Chain A
Amino acid sequence: MSALEIRSIHKRYGEVETLKGIDIALDSGEFLVLLGSSGCGKSTLLNIIAGLAEPSGGDILIGERSVLGVHPKDRDIAMVFQSYALYPNMSVARNIGFGLEMRKVPPAEREKAVRETAKLLQIENLLERKPSQLSGGQRQRVAIGRALVRNPQVFLFDEPLSNLDAKLRMEMRTELKRLHQMLKTTIVYVTHDQIEAMTLATRIAVMRDGRIEQLGTPEEIYDRPETLYVAGFVGSPPMNILDAEVTGRGLKLDGCEEILPLPASFKSAAAGRPVKVGIRPEVLRLAADSPGPRLMARVEVVELTGPELVTTAIVGKQRIIASLPPRTALSMGSTHAFTFDEAALHLFDPGSGRSLRAA
């Protein structure tokens, strides 16, 4: 049974159409991440699911029931906001229990539920405090607690970690993953952070300009991006995109004589057509004596991040980035041979940006 169904949702603000037909069906227990840069419509979609905004067209079904025109409180959802949105005048306990209080749950039952939730989130010792006496991470836990305590059918998260510092963000990410694995709740989670999307999601919807660019599991999004946009958005450093032409001998990179093999899954690409070739930085390695395709590139800059050596090199006139092991011996300004697994190449149509992978 699908817990949440989004059916051709449109949203217009006057002349501007921010959502241009979104369709997603979500099974119970799924963790869907809406991923995209700001302005892509992901938060608008979340607000429409929550009932904080009305769509201009389409339908939202929660537990097989259309919730169009249904008040947010009656949609069986809970929401966690980027700003935490805790009630500043209430204690942590009352903040968590407020939704139950408004639903007239008896005080004893309410208190029990609040205690259990607080225990789950390890904030039992904070129950009497006011939000202003909490750290950012603690506030985030309270905000999550407020959603958990009601045990709704669908949880909505609006960029919940973006106000936290990097270390805390990682901790809370793991915490969210732990909670999801334990509680098997259905979650829709909005973020612009592709690492959050990759680590948390069971499915990712990459959004752009009010449309879904690609909907799939994290592996699918990462391994088989359907468009140039998805290829460039997911992965850090981003995928290298090189201009090339399909020839009888393989892929000839523009501006040099380098020829790359044409992978089997793209054999249908006609000779003579221009293409965009995608190679992830992490699949590139120094050739040494190993067999496989060769790519000669002149090393320009190396940046040691600790776990890897981010190497920028020039192929003809095009720039390429390789993530190499930290102790790789490279001499600046000299040309090195790089190699890669040819199955890791991606080909895109330069006009439409769509993948040329044979279905």
Chain B
Amino acid sequence: MSGTWISTRAWLMMLPLLVVMVAVIGWPLVDTVRLSFTDAKLVGTEGGFVGADNYVKMLTGSNFQRALITTSWFAVVSVAAEMVLGVLAALLLNQQFRGRTALRALMILPWALPTVVNATLWRLIYNPEYGALNAALTQLGLLDSYRSWLGEPGTALVALIVADCWKNFPLVALIALAALQAVPRDITAAALVDGAGSLNRFRFVIMPYLAGPLLVALVLRTIEAFKVFDIIWVMTRGGPANSTRTLSILVYQEAFSFQRAGSGASLALIVTLLVTILAVAYAALLRKAAGAS
């Protein structure tokens, strides 16, 4: 029974990793589930069993609903903008011109920056007293007086989305550029001879090569955007007037600012479930796309 022997050895070799995974992923997850059914505080009381109270409270509360809308809005708009910008940048960088290599290297920079550095940078740009954006817009005559872009509920989320796009579109561009370079030269030449204009060439000839890789980028970016925390925490902390409070910020506030470990845990699990649903849906999409090609 050599099969049994090999599989025993395989399990033995994986055991150390399994132990680590159970310790750092499995146990915290189980404990969070336990916590979510209690009214435990972050410090002090252990808390008692309260059934599904936390879930009901969170799901029916206006905070959660508003945060869900803010998160969805942030994710949809920033990811859509990143996809469009990324593909356009990739199409440009796929052309032959002087300085292309330098430009390709430069483009990766925003993505290579740590998020916190990027967020701090954009806070400077948006600064209501000496920010570059205010200076530029007033000097161009587009703005009468300096505004607090991150301080007004109407503009804060848009300002955040811009900062997030700037950081993340290079990833999409990079993936799209790699895909573009896999398009055989003969095929685009054939399309030229066949009389396809640039739009038709993109749609019928190039897009089929881009679709798969772009779907991967879409999955990665949407899940990331749905979990967004750091850029918002550094720039607005969810404010002003909770206008940029996404689900992750809400979880943090519930669990750590208000020290309600029980309801914070239930909220965290809800967010995890939502992201899991997204991931599964995308995985299905990817499988379908792979099957089609």
Contact = CB atoms under 8 A, between A and B. Distances in A.
A79 B208 contact: no
A85 B185 CA distance: 9
A82 B196 contact: no
Given A79-B190, A81-B186, A87 B205 contact: yes
Contact of B190 (A71, A85, A89, A103): A85
A305 B197 CA distance: 52
A146 interface: yes
Given A98-B204, A102-B195, A102-B200, A89 B293 contact: yes
A261 interface: no
Interface string B188-207: 01111111110010001100
Q: Helix, strand, loop or mixed for chain B's interface? A: helix
Interface in B83-102: none
Nearest to A97: B194
Interface string A30-61: 00000000000000000000111000000000
B204 A85 contact: no
A188 to B, nearest CB: 13
A72 interface: yes
Contact of A85 (B184, B196, B200, B293): B184
Contacts of B208: 87-89
Contact of A83 (B186, B197, B200): B186
Interface in B208-240: 208
B293 A102 contact: no
24 contacts: A50-B193, A52-B189, A52-B193, A71-B192, A73-B192, A78-B193, A79-B189, A79-B193, A81-B186, A85-B184, A85-B187, A87-B190, A87-B191, A87-B208, A89-B204, A89-B208, A90-B204, A98-B194, A98-B196, A98-B204, A99-B194, A99-B195, A102-B196, A103-B195
Pick the 10 closest A-B CB pairs, nearest first: A73-B195, A85-B186, A89-B208, A99-B194, A85-B190, A102-B195, A81-B186, A83-B186, A72-B193, A85-B187
A73 B186 contact: no
Interface string A147-168: 0000000000000000000000
Interface residues of B, number: 17
Given A89-B293, A102-B200, A81 B190 contact: yes
B192 A83 contact: no
Given A85-B184, A89-B293, A73 B194 contact: yes
A345 interface: no
A77 interface: yes
A58 to B, nearest CB: 21
A150 to B, nearest CB: 8
A300 to B, nearest CB: 45
Nearest to A94: B204
Contacts of A77: 193
A142 to B, nearest CB: 12
Contact of A81 (B189, B196, B197, B200): B189
Contact of A102 (B184, B187, B194): B194
A72 B196 CA distance: 10
B209 to A, nearest CB: 8
Nearest to A78: B193
Contacts of A86: 187
Contacts of B191: 87, 98
Of the listed residues A86, A98, A103, the one surrounded by the most CB atoms of chain B closer than 10 A to its CB is: A98
Nearest to A98: B194
A4 to B, nearest CB: 15
B195 A87 contact: no
